[in-house]
């Protein structure tokens, strides 16, 4: 299996894909430019930075935590902690799909209604 690049490389690619400079990231996320530059130079990102960058990069914060290889905070954990093996299988199958089918899967996921209810261990509304 191919290993992913470090977060600094991935963040650079994400920003470039969104046509955002370091100054744009700083201004739109409301964080000091030197904090972003430190991460781009290889420093580990703080969870607070990931929360602020996610909407700027048009990502869910949970996805940015995964991209940064940071554990998800408890408030971001899946509704069913036993679902993890199913998620791993889903991702494994999804990345094996041809690009056209991956795009179709993304469109389907984007069309789903937003998640509602309470977190694991509590009753759903």
Give the span between the Cα atoms of 123 and 116, in whole angstroms: 12
Average confidence (pLDDT) over 25-34: 96
Yes or no: say if 36 and 43 are a contact pair by the CB < 8 Å rule. Answer: no
Judged against a pLDDT cut of 70, whether residue 2 lies above it is answered with: no
Largest CA distance in the chain: 45
Structural domain boundaries in the chain: 7-76, 81-111
- pLDDT at residue 105, as a whole number: 87
* pTM of this prediction exceeds 0.75: no
Assign a CATH topology to domain 7-76: 434 Repressor (Amino-terminal Domain) (1.10.260)
Convert the pLDDT of each residue in 77-119 to its tens digit: 766 767 777 878 888 888 888 999 888 888 888 887 666 544 4
SS3 44: coil
CA distances to 6, 38, 78, 97, 105 from 45, in Å: 11, 9, 22, 31, 30
> Between 101 and 29, where is the model more confident?
29
């Amino acid at each position: 299996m191919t290993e992913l690049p470090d977060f600094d490389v991935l963040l650079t690619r994400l920003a470039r894909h969104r046509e955002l400079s370091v100054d744009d990231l700083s201004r739109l996320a409301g964080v000091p430019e030197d904090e972003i530059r430190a991460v781009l130079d290889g420093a580990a990102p703080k969870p607070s930075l990931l929360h602020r960058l996610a909407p700027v990069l048009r990502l869910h914060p949970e996805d940015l935590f995964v991209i940064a290889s940071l554990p998800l905070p408890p408030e971001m954990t899946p509704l069913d902690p036993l679902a993890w093996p199913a998620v791993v299988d889903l991702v494994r199958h999804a990345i094996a799909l041809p690009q056209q089918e991956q795009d179709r899967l993304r469109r389907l996921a984007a069309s789903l209604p937003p998640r509602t209810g309470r977190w694991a261990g509590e009753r759903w509304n």
